[in-house]
Amino acid sequence: MAEEPVVCDTKPIGLEVEAGVHWWCACGRSSHPPFCDGSHKGTGLQPVKFEVNDKTTVWWCQCKKTDCAPLCDGSHKKLRLS
């Protein structure tokens, strides 16, 4: 069974990315969020492949609760953190 992802932040991060393939960190353990650095190994979680055709700004989910991974869908607004 997969571990729960770590909430990196309670708001998305907008970053300009070049055209190509990008790997979104789904576990929340990366040292370079929102991108995967391999820290998911052993968690049962896998990064999400995201491809863009042109240089663009992407709003990456940081709460790890989105239904549109890796994009923010506003799920962070419903989080209740203790």
Rounded to 5 degrees, what angle do the CA atoms 29, 62, 72 make? Answer: 145
Q: Answer yes or no: pTM beyond 0.85.
A: yes
Indicate the Cα dihedral angle 61, 29, 51, 15, nearest 10°.
Answer: 50
Residue type, 47: P
Which tens digit of pLDDT belongs to each residue from 11-64? 999 999 999 999 999 999 999 999 999 999 999 999 999 999 999 999 999 999
Phi-psi region of 63 (alpha: psi -120 to 50; beta: other; left: phi over 0): alpha
